Amino acid sequence: MDKEKKNLVFNILLLLVWGVLTLFLAVHHEIWRDEAQAWLVVRDLDLLGLIKHVRTEGHPLLWYFMIFPLAKLKLGVISMQLFNWMLVFAGGAFFVFKSPFNKFLRIVFLFSSGMFYLLPAFSRSYSLIPLLIFLTAYFYPKRKTNPYLYGVLLVLLANTHVIMFGFAAALSLLYLYELCRERDFPDFRAGVISVTVVLLSLFAIVLYLLGVREQHIYVSVYETSTIAVIRNWVVYLTGFSFGFAAVVFYAAAIAVCGFLFKRCPKMFFVFFMSAISQFVIYRWVWRFLPQRTFTIILILLFCLWVIEASKECTQIQKRVNNIFIYICGVIFLLSTVLSGLRFALMDAGMDYSDSKNAAEFIEKNIPKNAVIVSTYDLITSGILAYLPQRKFYSAEYQKEYTYSFWTAPKQYIKDGLVLPASLWKNGEIYILTNPYSQYQGAELIYLSKQDVISEYERFAIYRLRKN
């Protein structure tokens, strides 16, 4: 068997093992509120309502548009989970077959925390990023001969999540610079049209999300310190506590910037601007999430891909590149493998959220015409995703709901539950709340078990009869 066939067999076996394991994790995973929220929004709103509502959540629309048909076909929330896994699998397969990296990097990338657990198991818009960013890296050398395709990829990347806005903006500005200074485009007019469309798309995202920070119940009060951002970037990416790991991580990050600046100033600009934009987002807009943090690794791989695939490299430069890429693989990817494996094993052995169990209890034990009052409605999205025929009544917003609201409620529940008389039409109501709340005179009929990974995804249900 020649070297090419051996490499093909290796790639297929690697993808098969990784694909089976990640598929198991994806279908076993119980969705939590952020995953469920997107599903409920596309399930219960029409297209115009979707566009109007998603703005209040502070996200671009691409993920919602992609899962919209699944929900309208009434396929169930499992279809979103399978679709999410297929996107991640496609990104991993493209990386394995098309990237210029060696076997070591291909293996540690697929089994890093992001690709092994965080992206395939959690159905979020982040699952779109690996495939799109690797397609962009693959077509980057052809950006001048195929500007429309390159422009489409940048527009799609910008619309995955605001965390990728800086990356898409940096590549767009770089493309504009090349148009103005290099002028070696086979079709200059097509290049101008492409970059104009991308820049207008970025501007449209800004307009769409303008003012959300002041309206969003969480984002409006979120702010952290610079030190916290520096600390959490390491903790959420590697799983190690802040300390020696941070020293190694940031020393490697400085080395990466130096390498990029020396080898390819354009890729240094892209990586640096992406990191700065993410810092701003973590500092003033969105809190850290492991999936969100992993995007900086994907951006780094994009930059290294472009450099490694460059035809301008000499043999010596390629060897230096390979050594540096190997070191990056050890520090930035291999360091995440253990934390990803640990969380994957936890999710396989425990429930990530108790939403599915609570939904099954409600379906079996609570009449369909019963009134279920939620004092916990920002957290109960996961339950409603498994109950397509049900609605809950929000004690804070004083109306029925399925998807959660991210604007300030009409009242905050502090000293007691105040409910309108119309809710007592059946002589009893059910109260869905957190496991720590207690209601005098009410019967506790359901309590989540202790061994749930997400502490915020545990529930209690009380039955309260009218005196």
Domain boundary (318, 349, 380) is at: 349
Q: Answer yes or no: do 244 and 386 share one domain.
A: no
d(CA 77, CA 302): 32
Does residue 216 lie within any of the structural domains? yes
Q: Answer yes or no: do 251 and 374 share one domain.
A: no
Domain boundary (295, 317, 349) is at: 349
Q: Answer yes or no: do 328 and 376 share one domain.
A: no
Q: Is there a contact between 286 and 222 (Cβ–Cβ < 8 Å)?
A: yes
Q: Which residue has the higher pLDDT, 379 or 177?
A: 177
Q: What is the pLDDT of residue 182?
A: 79
Does residue 23 lie within any of the structural domains? yes
Q: Which residue has the higher pLDDT, 291 or 440?
A: 291
Q: What is the mean pLDDT of residues 394-423?
A: 75
Q: Answer yes or no: do 406 and 262 share one domain.
A: no
Does residue 69 lie within any of the structural domains? no
d(CA 371, CA 197): 49
Q: Answer yes or no: do 336 and 362 share one domain.
A: no
Residue 251 confidence (pLDDT) above 50? yes
Residue 397 confidence (pLDDT) above 50? yes
List the domain range (segments joined by +) for residue 443. Answer: 355-465
Q: Answer yes or no: do 188 and 91 share one domain.
A: yes
Does residue 270 lie within any of the structural domains? yes
Kindly report which listed range (80-84, 316-320, 358-362, 387-391) carries the lowest average pLDDT score: 316-320
Residue 435 confidence (pLDDT) above 50? yes
Does residue 303 lie within any of the structural domains? yes
Q: Answer yes or no: do 138 and 252 share one domain.
A: yes
d(CA 236, CA 278): 14
- Triad 176, 177, 180: Cα angle to 5°: 90
Question: Residue with structure tokens 């079709």?
Answer: 187
Count of structural domains within the chain: 2
Q: Can you say how many angstroms the Cα of residue 429 is from the centroid of all Cα atoms in its chain?
A: 36
Helix crossing, 315-328 with 103-110: angle to 10°?
Answer: 30
Spatial strand order of the sheet with 399-401 comes to: 399-401, 392-394, 372-374, 428-433, 460-465, 443-447
Question: What is the residue-averaged pLDDT of the chain?
Answer: 90
Q: For 43-86, how does the pLDDT look when each residue is reduced to its tens digit (9 = 90+)?
A: 999 999 999 999 988 899 999 999 999 999 999 999 999 999 99
Q: What is the mean pLDDT of residues 203-228?
A: 80
Q: Answer yes or no: do 343 and 368 share one domain.
A: no
Band (pLDDT 50/70/90 cuts) for residue 413 is low
Domain boundary (314, 349, 384) is at: 349
DSSP letter string, 308-351: HT-TT--HHHHHHHHHHHHHHIIIIIIHHHHHHHHHHHHHHHSB
Half-sphere exposure (Cβ direction) of 298: Cα atoms closer than 13 Å: 30
Q: What is the pLDDT of residue 440?
A: 82
Phi, psi (5° rounding) for residue 398? 60, 45
What beta strand segments (E) does 41-127 contain? none
CB atoms within 10 A of CB 143: 22
Q: Which residue has the higher pLDDT, 236 or 129?
A: 129
Does residue 36 lie within any of the structural domains? no
Kindly report which listed range (136-145, 213-222, 301-310, 342-351) carries the lowest average pLDDT score: 213-222
Q: Can you say how many angstroms the Cα of residue 433 is from the centroid of all Cα atoms in its chain?
A: 27
- Supply the pTM of this predicted model: 0.94
Does residue 46 lie within any of the structural domains? no
d(CA 189, CA 151): 13
Q: Answer yes or no: do 118 and 188 share one domain.
A: yes
Band (pLDDT 50/70/90 cuts) for residue 324 is confident
Coil, helix or strand at residue 464? strand
Q: What is the pLDDT of residue 92?
A: 98
Share of the chain above pLDDT 70, in %: 94
Q: What is the pLDDT of residue 331?
A: 78
Q: What is the mean pLDDT of residues 147-174?
A: 97
Q: Answer yes or no: do 122 and 178 share one domain.
A: yes
Q: Answer yes or no: do 298 and 372 share one domain.
A: no
Band (pLDDT 50/70/90 cuts) for residue 237 is confident
Residue 94 confidence (pLDDT) above 70? yes
Q: What is the pLDDT of residue 221?
A: 63
d(CA 84, CA 78): 10
Query: Residue 297: which region, alpha, beta or left (left: phi > 0; alpha: psi -120 to 50)?
Result: alpha
Q: Answer yes or no: do 233 and 289 share one domain.
A: yes
Strand bridging mode 443-447 / 428-433: unpaired
Does residue 35 lie within any of the structural domains? no
Question: Residue with structure tokens 């500007």?
Answer: 147
Band (pLDDT 50/70/90 cuts) for residue 414 is very low
End-to-end Cα, the chain, rounded Å:
81
